[in-house]
Structure 1
Amino acid sequence: MTHALEGGCLCSSVRYSAKAQPVMVGHCYCVDCRKSSGTSHCTHAAVPDASLSMSGELRFYERPADSGNLVSRGFCPACGSAILSRNSGMPGMTFIRVSSLDDPEAVEPQMTVYAARAPSWAVLDRAKPVFDIMPEGGPEAAMPAS
């Protein structure tokens, strides 16, 4: 990747830049992602914390995932835009909401998780790995070796 991933919220109070290429990009159809996104799924780009710089204030909502790990979802307190999440089971990683990117074409989803929880009308890209639940070892374990 030659350019940083840049994005922010709807009202521009929160801005971020990630200088590292995402470790993975994927769609998630778990109930929490569906409800927090207001649609059928979330698309996340996982980047190392050290590559991420942010300006503005985020408010966080925390809730245990199916795994028991605590997931903290960060959103703009002014406009409500979902920006990122962090999972206690994956320290050192931040999951940027692809919907908050200035250019969503900057990344391409590589997999789908929790497909068994997708609504019947959701269109899944079966040309890429699709998992009914979270793969053992998390999404990183499902990534093809490079």
Structure 2
Amino acid sequence: MPYAGRCSCGAIAVRIDGDPIAVRQCWCRRCQKIAAGGPTHNAIFRTGEIAVEGAMASDNYVADSGNVLTRWHCPQCATPMLAGSSARPEMRVVRLGILDAPHGLKPTMAIWTSEAPDWAIIDPAMQAFPAQPPAPPAPQSW
């Protein structure tokens, strides 16, 4: 199923021609900062299945793992768009909020739950990890 979306101001458009590898909710402190205190909601797709129209801005930081993480956002409205890790350049994280509704995607896993605030409500039906979970397996078509 193809997915499409854009930033809040419409300057950046995204099209994804593939199925997500995983859909997660992240409670790490960095995600809480870009999500106004809550978690981010993210789908992981193959990098080659994502087409972007428009120039995005980015920032990098070194994670606890030692990997360099890159986050891309709209330079005009600052909408968080994508993220990626130097350890897995074949995968990109897409922020669910940019996708056109209805997209039918919902998190099946909560990660970094050890950093969630004490008021957080984490769905007990989701698989939960207190920190970074193992990387999702690469699809067999790679």
Does TM, scored on the shorter chain, surpass 0.5?
Answer: yes
Equivalent residue, structure 1, for 2:56: 58
1:33-84 CA-partner distances (Å, limit 9, x unpaired): 1112223111110000111111011000111122111111000000110001
Partner of 1:67: 65
Equivalent in the alignment of 1:90: 88
RMSD: 1.3
Letter of the structure 1 residue corresponding to residue 16 of structure 2: A
CA distance in 2, matches of 1:29, 1:56: 29
Q: Kindly indicate which of the two structures has a greater share of residues assigned to helix.
A: 1
CA distance in 1, matches of 2:68, 2:88: 10
Residue ranges of structure 1 left out of the alignment (5+ in a row): 142-146
Structure 1 runs (4+) greater than 6 angstroms displaced? none
Count, aligned residues: 137
Other structure's SS at 2:114 match: helix
Q: Please give the secondary structure, in 1, of the residue aligned with 2:61.
A: strand
Aligned mates of 2:79, 2:107 — CA distance in 1: 21
TM (norm. structure 1) is: 0.88
- Give 1:85's aligned amino acid: A
What are the within-5 Å matches in structure 2 for residues 1-146 of structure 1? 3-103=1-101, 105-135=103-133, 137-138=134-135, 140=136
Moved more, 28-37 or 54-63: 28-37
Percent identity of the aligned residues? 28
> How far off is 1:90 after superposition?
1.3
Structure 2's unaligned 5+ residue stretches are 138-142
